[in-house]
Amino acid sequence: MKILLAPMEGLVDSYLRNILTGVGGYDICVTEFVRVVDKIVPKKVFHRLCPELETSATTEAGTPVIIQLLGSDPSVLAENAAYAVELGAPGIDLNFGCPSKIVNRKAGGAVLLKSPDRMHKIISAVRAAVPCPIPVSAKIRLGFDHTDAALDIAHAVEGAGASYVVVHARTKADGYKAPARWEWLGYINDALSIPVIANGDINSVEDYRRCREISGCEEIMIGRGAVSRPDLARQIRHDYQGEPCETMNWAEISHLLMSMAQQMSATVSDKIILGRIKQWLAMLKSVYPEAQHHFDEVRRLSCFSEACFEKFRLALFDG
């Protein structure tokens, strides 16, 4: 089985990828999308969204990081895919799932689900531009407003030569409303010969078991669940292998938060560091009740400078 760490714009960046893959369990990470419009994206943009390109496109734990592209022009996407591989990307993922209204107005993301033929052209062009050993995948939803074309969309992806497809088990209209429609993952999994990666509402080991039972998909991509439960991938992998796995306690989570803040401090402003820590603490509250108290403590701080470092440490560990 494979476990992928999902791209989440403004949240799962290189710092969090490094932290989560260090905990263990992941086979692949996917970057936040690189927006492609009408020309080749500058090298600095690829390196900003995927600084791992400077270290053989892997995290410190050795987990490969593939580049996700978002756009609608087949030839320009193909050129950018080829360039990303030239820069060292070990794989290319194409975003057909982003529900953002701004992205969709510019003919990118989930709006392309309305046109399986265009999706086929995009994937075919990218596949032709990228060397055969490099995987080309697509991230899709079940449709735009409804699921009527879900199988047509999935067949378009497979027919264009994709190596595998990640299916977020919701339509664009569903947004992120629970529950995810895992039964549709099963329909798609039965219809395709390429691997189908399940995505959506996998927030615990129990969720993974139920999703696998309903969909037949053993391979998964996790996003929000990975952020709120940092050892989720490790737990799922151990469970799949029939091995025991202790869950992380709050002291261990606090060390992860401190580690990310320290990593960020070399290149990122104090304001951004504290904002990211508060963002992560807010998501941790769904699993760790302690996170609320520490969120309140961190919120009182104004910076993450050397002078405030001890206060920050106390806010995380002692409160």
Which sequence positions are flagged as catalytic? 98
H/E stretch holding 95 reads strand 92-96
Query: Is residue 309 packed enough to be buried (19+ CB in 10 Å), middle (13-18) or exposed (0-12)?
Result: middle
| ω into 179 cis (within 30 of 0) | yes
Where helices occur in 160-204 by DSSP H, the ranges are 182-191
* φ, ψ dihedrals at 28, nearest 5°: -150, 145
- According to DSSP, the residues that pair with 141 across neighbouring strands are 168
Secondary structure percentages of the chain, helix, strand, coil, to 5: 50, 10, 40
Strand (E) positions, 245-315? none
Strand (E) positions, 116-273? 136-141, 164-168, 196-199, 220-222
Give the span between the Cα atoms of 316 and 294, in whole angstroms: 6
